[in-house]
Copies of this chain bind each other. A is one copy, B any other.
Amino acid sequence: MIDQVPTTIKNELHDLIEWLAAFGKTGHGGVTRLLYDTDWQKAQHALKYKMEEMGFNTRFDDVGNLFGCIRGTENEEKGILTGSHVDTVVDGGKYDGAYGILASMIATARLFHQYGAPRKTIEVVSLCEEEGSRFPLSFWGSGNITGKYHAQDATRLADHSGMSLTDAMHGAGFGIGNYPDAFRNDIACFLEIHIEQGRTLELGKKTWAPVSHIVGQRRYTISLTGESNHAGTTPMNQRRDAVYAAALMVSHVIKMAGEQQNGLVATVGRIEADPNVANVISGKCRFSLDIRHHEVSVLDRFSEETLAFCKETADKAGIQIQINKWMDVPPVKLDQKLMEMNLKLAEDAGIPFRKMVSGAGHDSQVFGTFCPTALMFVPSHLGVSHSPAEYTGLDELTIGVHMLMKMLYHLAYAPEKNNGKCEYE
C-alpha cells in the first residue's frame, strides 16, 4: 500500500509539516503556539496564503478560525468540513493538530487538481484553539462554529497574565464585527485526522484507526483538611494527617481502576500538600482525579464508588473532604455510517487498521454532537505527544492523507457510491 502512495505526497507533506512547525519553534525542537499569540497569528496568516497558493478561497471567522474552500458544482447548502486545530500546548509537538490541517489541505487540493471541482463543497479548516493552554477553556474554535461558545463569552476569561480573551482576540485582529460570526449551519459533516497520542496502534502494528467513540471525562479536585502538627511530638493515634488520607484514597482508587478491565482509565496526576515540609504533619492535601470511559453508565458507577470510598476514608480519619467536579464532558459516539465507509475503504486498500476509542479529547467530540463526524488516527511513536519528542513516520502520515483522499472522494465526488468501491486510487 505504501508503495502506491505517490512520493510527491510524501515530499509535500514533509515540507509542509516542517514549514508549519517553524511558527513557534522552541529551543527544545518543539512548538509553542498559544491562542492569539504572535506565533499563532503568523501561522494562521501563513496558512491562509498557503491555502490560496494551493487553489482554495480563504476566509476567517470572528474568532480566528481559518477556512479554505473548494466550491462544489452542485451548489448544495451544506458542505464537507475537514481539518484540525492550529494551536499547541507549551513546547508541544509538530503533529498534534497541525497534521490534520495539512493533511486536509493536501488531500483536498490534490483531488481538485486531479478531478476538478467536486460535486459537494469541501472546506478545509484550521481551527483556532483546542488545547486550552492559554485560557481556561478548550475547543474555542469548534465551540464557536457549533454554537457551544460565542465570541461574546470571551470577556469573562483571562490568561495567566490577566489579559482577557476578548482583548487577546482583538489584539490578533479578530473579535465581533471584524469577520463573519463563527456559527455555521451549513456543515454536512466533519472529518478529522489526528495522531493517536497513545501506543495502541504502534503496539498492535496497525497504521490506521477509525474512531468509534471519544471518551467522556470527569475531573475532580479532592481537598482534604486534617490538622497540621509536629512530626515528632504528635503520637500516631492523635494525628489527622491529610497526606496519609490522600495516600489511602489514591492507592485504592487507582487499584480499582486497574481492576475494571473495560477500558476505563483513572489518573491522579496532581498532588499537593500544605505546609509540605518533611518534619510537619501536613494538615492539608489536595489531589486531582481524572476518570475516562466511553459509556456514561461506567463513568457513573466508577465515580460513585470511588467518591464514596474517599468520603468514608476521610470520615474514619477525622478529615474534612471537599470534592469539586470541575469537568464533566459526556462521551461522544461518532457517526456510524462514516465509520463503516472508513473501515471498508481501509479494508479494500489493505491497510492494517483497527477500530478504536479515543481516550483524548478532540474537536471531533464537539462536532460529533452537531453533525455527522469522523475521527481517524495514525500511530504515535511510543505514544508520546504534547512534547517535542512527538513523532509519526512519514509513510504512516502519508497513508493517512491517502485515506482522507479516499473518504473525501467518496463523499464529495461520488456521493452516490458512499458504500461502494472507491474510484479514487
Bound: A235/B276 CA distance, A:
31
Residue among B196, B265, B279 making CB contact with A290, cutoff 8 Å: B279
20 additional A-B residue pairs with CB within 8 Å, beyond A243-B268, A244-B254, A271-B285: A197-B233, A198-B230, A198-B232, A199-B238, A219-B279, A221-B278, A230-B359, A232-B290, A233-B360, A234-B359, A234-B383, A235-B265, A236-B264, A237-B258, A244-B251, A247-B254, A267-B278, A267-B281, A271-B276, A277-B288
Bound: A229/B383 CA distance, A:
8
The yes or no answer to A81 lying at the interface (CB within 8 A) is: no
The A interface is mostly helix, strand or loop, or mixed, namely: mixed
Smallest beta-carbon distance A203→chain B, Å: 8
Q: Interface code A185-221, partner B: CB below 8 Å = 1, 0 otherwise? A: 0000000000011111000000000000001010101
| A interface with B by C-beta (< 8 Å) | 196-200, 215, 217, 219, 221, 229-238, 241, 243-244, 246-251, 254, 257-258, 260, 263-273, 275-282, 285, 288, 290, 292, 358-361, 383, 385-386
Would A230 and B279 count as touching, CB distance under 8 A?
Answer: no
Bound: A267/B239 CA distance, A:
10
User: A385 to chain B: which residues have CB within 8 Å?
Assistant: 230, 233
27 contacting pairs across A/B (C-beta < 8 A): A196-B233, A197-B232, A219-B279, A230-B386, A231-B265, A231-B290, A232-B359, A234-B359, A235-B263, A235-B265, A236-B257, A241-B254, A241-B267, A243-B250, A243-B269, A244-B251, A244-B254, A247-B248, A267-B280, A269-B273, A269-B276, A270-B276, A270-B278, A270-B282, A278-B288, A279-B290, A280-B386
Would B250 and A236 count as touching, CB distance under 8 A?
Answer: no
Residue among B235, B258, B279 making CB contact with A269, cutoff 8 Å: B279
